[in-house]
Amino acid sequence: MESFSNLVEYYDELFPVTDSLKSFCEQIKSKFSPPPKSLQIGCNNGTFSFFLAKNGWNSTGLETIPALLDSACAKRRLQLLSIRFFKLSTLEMANFLGKGFYNFISCLDNRILFINSLQNMKKFFSDARNLITKDGVLLLQTFNLESLSSNSINIMQTRSSERVNLFSKIQSSPDGSFSISQEVENSNGQILPVLQNVKIFPLTQKNITSFGKEAGFKHIDFYEDYNGTKFTKDSPYTVAVLKA
């Protein structure tokens, strides 16, 4: 069960475009002729895509969740920017987007985990490589799933703002499958569901490396944040930078 409408109001507070992410993007931007072209896969309510557009990028966002896509499109109608949003899944994107067109592709805030089969995950990496330019960058950011306990409930790091908390837990089952549940607690103490037992893919450093190399990415680096902090098994998040 999915109730993303309960998250839309708080999304910018819980998933802000941090100074470290801004700096990371500026470093990438400087390597390409203007305007560089970006693609955000799972663009949520469009906040990051809008940041890129406002800072000189030709920005495209893909989203399949109606509540989030509607929020992104509503913002777009109020601003004259080089930005567009499409309702496309990772399975569809290679059929409609330009091969070798994007300098920078991103999939942030755990969204890649919802590609919940091995075949489709490998296709994601292959299609992303085909859509990206020579020397382009693919940026992935997820929970660190290296140390998940088997057949148990794993409590992930809480995201918080002044008005809301976002709680996440990942359950692993004896059959090797994983699912995520999330809920928000607002300032009134009300608990609202976001996700309930939604299947995810247990993406780790090892299989990101394997899928990335198989797809043709030349260099793959791992960090725990956008500041370049060294990634360890205890890092709360995995930030993977794959270079074509």
Check pLDDT > 90 for residue 22.
Answer: yes
pLDDT digits (tens, 9 = 90+) for 131-182: 999 999 999 999 999 888 777 899 999 999 999 999 999 999 888 889 999 9
pLDDT digits (tens, 9 = 90+) for 174-226: 888 899 999 999 999 999 999 999 999 999 999 999 999 999 999 999 999 99
Contact 168, 145 (CB under 8 A): no
Q: At residue 73, what is the residue type?
A: C
Q: In this predicted model, which residue has the larger pLDDT, 94 or 173?
A: 94
Q: Can you say how many angstroms the Cα of residue 161 is from the centroid of all Cα atoms in its chain?
A: 20
Contact 26, 40 (CB under 8 A): no
Q: Which candidate, 40, 140, 100, 95, places its Cα nearest to that of 244?
A: 100
Can you tell me the mean pLDDT for 46-71? 94
Separation between Cα atoms, residue 105 and residue 112, nearest integer Å: 12
Percentages of the chain per state (helix, strand, coil), in multiples of 5: 30, 30, 40
Could you tell me how many helices (H) and strands (E) the chain has, helices first?
8, 12
Q: Which candidate, 62, 51, 116, 65, places its Cα nearest to that of 84?
A: 62
Task: Show the tokens assigned to 81.
Answer: 């920017």
Check pLDDT > 60 for residue 1.
Answer: no
Tell me what pLDDT residue 195 has.
96
Q: What is the pTM of this model?
A: 0.96
Mapping DSSP to helix (H, G, I), strand (E, B) and coil, where does residue 36 land? coil
| pLDDT, mean over the chain | 94
Q: What does DSSP say about strands 102-107 and 37-41: parallel, antiparallel, or unpaired?
A: parallel
